[in-house]
Amino acid sequence: MTLKSLNINKDWTLFLDRDGVINKKFDNDYVKDWSDFEFLDGVQDAMKILNGKFGPIVVVTNQQGIGKGLYRTEDLQLIHKNMIYEINYLGGRIDKVYFSPYLDSLNHLTRKPNTGMGLRAREDFPVIDFTKSIIVGDSITDMQFGRALGMKTVFIAEEKRTDDKIDFNFPSLVEFSLAI
């Protein structure tokens, strides 16, 4: 199976993780405000390409820093508002961002690998068909989330990773966008 063989078109939905896919991820810390947010190289170009290939494009992100009291929901909403503005301004698109503020230990329905954010997205965008959806993420929990909903999975990492939950490996969102 190749990405080209999937015949991706506007009937397909793209689910993106945020940290490590769209923006720089901190080791043992969180993006707490807009001044911490840094797009990864080429992401704006990738989002412009992906805008032309997919129907709904949504972000699904675990944000337990809120649950830990390190930043507020309002801070996160401002980060997402600015992220969406910059991507849209440069010809890309994100239709909606879903986040789970809950601690990992709570195992909340909305926290990946659980499927709550995907189910909410389908409520908001009834055209979503999970069998015509792709999740792009940088963690196995992202892949588990996608698998649980019947999506194709794309793992983003410098080095290729082998796991039965991973359909495709790419070093970056840019490389993924160019392969479609």
List pLDDT tens digits, range 164-177.
Answer: 999 999 999 999 99
**Average of per-residue pLDDT across 110-117:** 98
Indicate the domain borders of the chain.
14-179
Q: Is the pLDDT of residue 32 over 90?
A: yes
* Spatial separation of the C-alpha atoms in residues 47 and 84, rounded to whole Å: 11
Taking the whole predicted model, whether its pTM rises above 0.85 is answered as yes
14-179: in CATH 3.40.50.300: no
Label residue 79 by pLDDT band (50, 70, 90): very high
* pLDDT of 51 over the 90 cut: yes
> Is 45 a residue of the active site?
no
Active-site hit among 17, 75, 142, 167: 17
Does residue 19 carry a catalytic annotation? yes
Write out pLDDT tens, residues 117-136. Answer: 999 999 999 999 999 999 99
Catalytic residue among 11, 19, 163, 167: 19
Render pLDDT for 136-155 as a digit per residue (tens, 0 to 9).
999 999 999 999 999 999 99
Model confidence at 101: pLDDT above 90:
yes
